[in-house]
Structure 1
Amino acid sequence: NNGSLSEEQTDRQLKITRASVTAKEIKKVDDNYFGSYSSFGIHREMLGDKVRTDAYRDALLDNPSLMNGATVLDVGCGTGILSLFAAKAGASRVVAVDGSAKMSSVATHVAKNNGLLYDENANTEQKGGPQVISVVHTKAEELNHKIVVPPNGFDVLVSEWMGYCLLYESMLSSVIYARDHFLKPGGAILPDTATIVSL
């Protein structure tokens, strides 16, 4: 009997140790990943891709029936450009999420400098625009630990998740998680389809 109790304690301790090691490994991978997006160079390159940036802008601004009054989740917001487009398109609330502390800070300053940063202590408009953007420093998978998600979910999920050869940025799993956990039934994802063509 003492032997089986001792085995149970050993098994329990092994499980705790494994979970601790796994958590440390995940944190290290996350820190490396989000650290790689803390450089302004990569964001300058993405923003400088006029065709790409204009395509996102047009998708948001040219869909007033989708965007007007919508709640929007921007996964991996970076500098916050998609959040700005969503706010300009008429969204009532935009939650911009980024796992990089540096880029979350940049997105906060960008939203504030454009008069769009949500401040629950000041329900006024600045610089001609409503204050609708909240920037949250977290992984998309942990968003519900940081904010209260709208009861029915977000109306629209936007994300600039595509990289070289479409999947390079390794963000698709976060977008899918956000879709499955935070997007309302029938909500829209921009972009929602992609094609890889071999020539």
Structure 2
Amino acid sequence: MSDALSLFLFAALVDNMPLTLFLGLCTFLALSRRTESAIGLGLAMIAVLGGTAPLNHLVYHGLLAPGAWAWAGMPEVDLSYLALIAFIGVIAATVQLVEMLIDRFLPALHAAFGVFLPLLTVQCAILAGSLFMVERNYTLGQTTVYGLGSGTGFALAVVMLGALRRRLAYANLPAGLRGLGAAFLLTGLLSLGFAAFSQMAAAR
């Protein structure tokens, strides 16, 4: 249990996708202008990352990894070169399912997402979760925990940025810092804060 919690916190805080690894910044910046859309994006990232990482683990180790076809008498078959295509296919299907559910039950949130929800299909942060699973040789349980932790970390970061941007919307900022300029500055400051978690983890 402690190992799972440590991995969850590592994925959420130390390996934070937008603020530590700088992945997924396109939707991170675009949908953090309003707190409501930031919360919606965070929940969508938890659902998609938490779902696609274990699914891709099953696909990779069940069909693509070297020796995956040993049960069929073909231990020499290695389809790992198809991993990228297979992962993207699983992610696309999962994003489509999440989009359909949001459109059905939360139409206002679906309208707020606009074109950015389908773009989660090519969100590099989501794909990175599956690629890290292969690179680090995680088990299915570890992959699930890492996916949920990564999604939670993304949600935490985007909600924090959304709240800060909402607060500064009425501030008397210099002309050059209004809008996207302030977003970049806030992202940098948040990134410095999350870098402290990396130092704490390295010191252990």
The answer to whether TM tops 0.5 is no
Which one has more relative contact order, counting CA pairs under 8 Å at least 6 apart?
Answer: 2
Scaled by the length of structure 1, what TM-score is found? 0.23
Query: Which structure has the larger Rg over C-alpha atoms?
Result: 1
What TM-score does the superposition give when structure 2 sets the normalisation length? Answer: 0.23
Q: Which has the higher helix share?
A: 2
Structure with more of its chain in strand, by fraction: 1
